[in-house]
């Protein structure tokens, strides 16, 4: 594995709201943040960083991704928890951060929305479906 490991949404929430003071990085696109929603953390937790891993609409890797993390104050040794829609883009982002000497970097399993139910809806897992705080747009 090329990053620190996978964690559940609940474990990520505990890490970014507890004494570890990890940082949650949502790597989805601006469109997803606007139309699907974003995680919400308590006021005393570090701010959720919104940094696209893949640029919208072309789907290309954001060449400024690592620079954006550093500009937001992320330093080596800061525990990072990467979140996307379902846990795929965030895995790649965690690996890239690790390769750049940032982290320890973790992937949040099932992402913000999780997998599909039998009807094709994303309602069975993920940050918002396990009852963690979030807001729309």
Structural domains in the chain, sorted by start: 5-135 (3.40.250.10)
* The pLDDT value given to residue 70: 97
User: Does 100 have pLDDT greater than 90?
Assistant: yes
Question: What local confidence, expressed as pLDDT, does residue 104 receive?
Answer: 98
Q: What is the pLDDT of residue 56?
A: 86
Q: Global pTM?
A: 0.95
| Cα–Cα distance measured from residue 106 to residue 109, given in angstroms and rounded to the nearest whole number | 9
Average pLDDT over residues 37-56: 95
Q: What is the pLDDT of residue 57?
A: 87
- How far apart CA 76 and CA 38 sit, in angstroms, is 25
In this model, does residue 1 exceed pLDDT 80?
no
Cis, peptide link before residue 90, omega less than 30° from 0: no
Q: What is the mean pLDDT of residues 41-70?
A: 95
Sign of the Cα torsion 94, 135, 15, 124 reads: negative
């Amino acid at each position: 594995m090329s990053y620190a490991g996978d964690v559940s949404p609940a474990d990520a929430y505990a890490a970014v709201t507890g004494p570890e003071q990890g940082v949650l990085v949502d790597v989805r696109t601006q469109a997803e943040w606007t139309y699907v929603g974003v995680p919400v953390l308590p006021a005393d937790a570090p701010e959720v960083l919104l940094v696209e891993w893949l640029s919208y609409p072309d789907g290309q890797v954001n060449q400024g991704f690592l620079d954006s993390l550093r500009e937001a104050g992320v330093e080596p040794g800061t525990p990072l928890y990467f979140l996307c829609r379902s846990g795929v883009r965030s895995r790649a982002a965690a690996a890239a951060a690790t390769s750049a000497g940032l982290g320890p970097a973790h992937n949040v399993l099932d992402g913000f929305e999780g997998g599909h139910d039998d009807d094709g809806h994303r309602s069975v897992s993920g940050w918002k479906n396990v009852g963690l705080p979030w807001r729309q747009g």
